Amino acid sequence: MPDKRTVHVIITGFGGQGIVMAGEILGKAATLYDTKHATMAQNYGPEARGGACSSQIIISPEEILFPYIEEPEILVCMSQEAYTKNIKTLLTEGTLIWDTDLVHTRKTDMHFKTFHIPATRFAEKLGSKMMANIVMLGFLSAVEHLVHAEALKKAIADSVPAATKEKNIQAFTAGREYGNSIVKGLLKLEQAKHQD
């Protein structure tokens, strides 16, 4: 079930990865297809392609009065620079998600709730690393219930070129299935702990 609270999400990486598009899709899914309020602010480094870039999304059951995020509950990192620059802002009880092909985390950051996926590798297997952002959205939707998966699928279909719609839905599904398998594995671990 999607969250009932206000959630602050930062998706961050470098220009050319579709970071802003991922933020727009998440916001669109919340507002158009999931009866929630959302805001999205974007931030680019001085160089558009290859420079640092981030997308700040707030999703809430209520109207949002201040659209900027200082301390996200969820931080999604798709580049090393993005991780290094933003990790200090993540709330102590927050969730850190990263692309294992592009980001190396520090052991000291493991006090957060953490999830990782080789999103770029998944996208390459599907035919284009340009879909890593969509793989990551699928993964995010499995490990953090911000909006319904169907709402995200509709928003993806609305946002990508018609010719790539099917491939992008496949990318979303691949990321979501991987996330679901990790969540199931964690649940089994928890149950095993309680049985000991």
- The residue segments making up the domain with residue 39 are 7-195
Residue 1 resides in a domain: no
Residue 17 resides in a domain: yes
Per the structure, the count of domains in the chain is: 1
Q: Specify the range with the lowest mean pLDDT, choosing from 8-17, 30-39, 46-55, 65-74.
A: 46-55
pLDDT of residue 3: 58
Residue 46 resides in a domain: yes
Residue 2 resides in a domain: no
pLDDT of residue 114: 93
More confident residue, 51 or 10: 10
pLDDT of residue 185: 85
Looking at the predicted structure, is the pLDDT value of residue 15 above 90? no
Residue 44 resides in a domain: yes
Looking at the predicted structure, is the pLDDT value of residue 40 above 80? yes
Residue 92 resides in a domain: yes
- pLDDT one-digit tens code per residue, 88-135: 999 988 999 999 999 999 877 667 899 999 999 999 999 999 999 999
Give the per-residue SS3 of the chain: CCCCCCEEEEEEEECCCCHHHHHHHHHHHHHHHCCCEEEEEEEECCCCCCCEEEEEEEEECCCCCCCCCCCCCEEEECCHHHHHHHHHHCCCCCEEEEECCCCCCCHHHHHCEEEEECHHHHHHHCCCHHHHHHHHHHHHHHHCCCCCHHHHHHHHHHHCCHHHHHHHHHHHHHHHHHHHHHHHHHHHHHHHHHHC
CA distance 144 to 140: 6
Looking at the predicted structure, is the pLDDT value of residue 45 above 80? no
- pLDDT one-digit tens code per residue, 157-188: 999 999 999 999 999 999 999 999 999 888 77
pLDDT of residue 135: 98
pLDDT of residue 49: 58
User: What percent of the chain has pLDDT above 70?
Assistant: 92
CATH number, residue 11: 3.40.920.10
